[in-house]
């Protein structure tokens, strides 16, 4: 597994994600919402926990990765985290649908890293062509404080360890 090109102490590059902001109208499963853009520049002055999954609704991501972040939301907030976000190469409608199924509401941003471009700029993609999934965001986590990386870890093997909620909480 290749090491990320982004390191602790680096400033994150500017990137733009698409996402569907949660609203009460999305309680209706026939509503889709309207995608909007979020620039990483909006995280200036904020403490951000960003974790990445190879794909929404995929077994490990859906069962073992996102749910602990939801359950430990209050612990992250108690440690001064302003923003919690999950990112994947899925489109913004899939990310929104996944967030709704998981019950995220407005607690965690479900961001679309289209074509895994931002993650690629950090050396944080994975080639899943052999599994029919293409190039995806790798499974990783970052703590970003005022746009500076304070923690970045990539999963060394299948599963959730260094990018999981407990590992990140321990580093805050």
pLDDT recorded at residue 123: 83
- 3-state DSSP assignment of residue 133: coil
Pick from 5, 13, 3: nearest CA to 144: 13
Pick from 169, 152, 168: nearest CA to 3: 152
Question: How do the pLDDT tens digits run along the chain, 172 residues long?
Answer: 456 789 999 999 999 999 999 999 998 888 889 999 999 999 999 999 999 998 887 766 666 789 999 999 999 999 999 999 999 999 999 999 989 989 999 999 999 998 889 998 898 876 666 775 667 788 899 999 999 999 999 988 888 989 999 999 999 9
Of the residues 12, 48, 50, 61, only one is catalytic, namely 61
Tell me whether residue 61 is one of the annotated catalytic residues: yes
Asked whether the beta carbons of 20 and 35 are under 8 A apart, the reply is yes
Residues shown for the chain: 172
- CATH number of 42-171: 3.40.30.10, 3.10.105.10, 3.40.50.300, 3.40.50.970? 3.40.30.10
Asked whether the beta carbons of 73 and 99 are under 8 A apart, the reply is no
pLDDT recorded at residue 146: 98
Q: Give 149's strand partners.
A: 144
Domain ranges of the chain: 42-171
State the pTM of this model. Answer: 0.91
């Amino acid at each position: 597994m290749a090491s990320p090109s982004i390191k602790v102490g680096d400033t994150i590059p500017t990137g733009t994600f698409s996402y569907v902001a949660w609203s009460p109208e999305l309680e209706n499963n026939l509503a889709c919402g309207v995608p909007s853009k979020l620039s990483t520049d909006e995280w200036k002055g904020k403490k951000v926990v960003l974790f990445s999954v190879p794909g929404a609704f995929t077994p490990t991501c859906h069962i073992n990765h996102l749910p602990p972040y939801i359950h430990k939301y209050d612990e992250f907030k108690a440690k001064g985290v302003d923003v919690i976000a999950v990112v994947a190469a899925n489109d913004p409608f899939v990310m929104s649908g996944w967030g709704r199924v998981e019950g995220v509401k407005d607690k965690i941003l479900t961001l679309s890293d289209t074509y895994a471009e931002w993650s690629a700029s950090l050396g944080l993609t994975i080639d899943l062509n052999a599994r029919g999934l293409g190039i995806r965001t790798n499974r990783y986590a970052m703590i970003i404080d005022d746009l500076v990386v304070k923690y970045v870890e990539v999963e060394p093997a299948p599963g959730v360890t260094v990018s999981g909620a407990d590992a990140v909480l321990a580093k805050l």
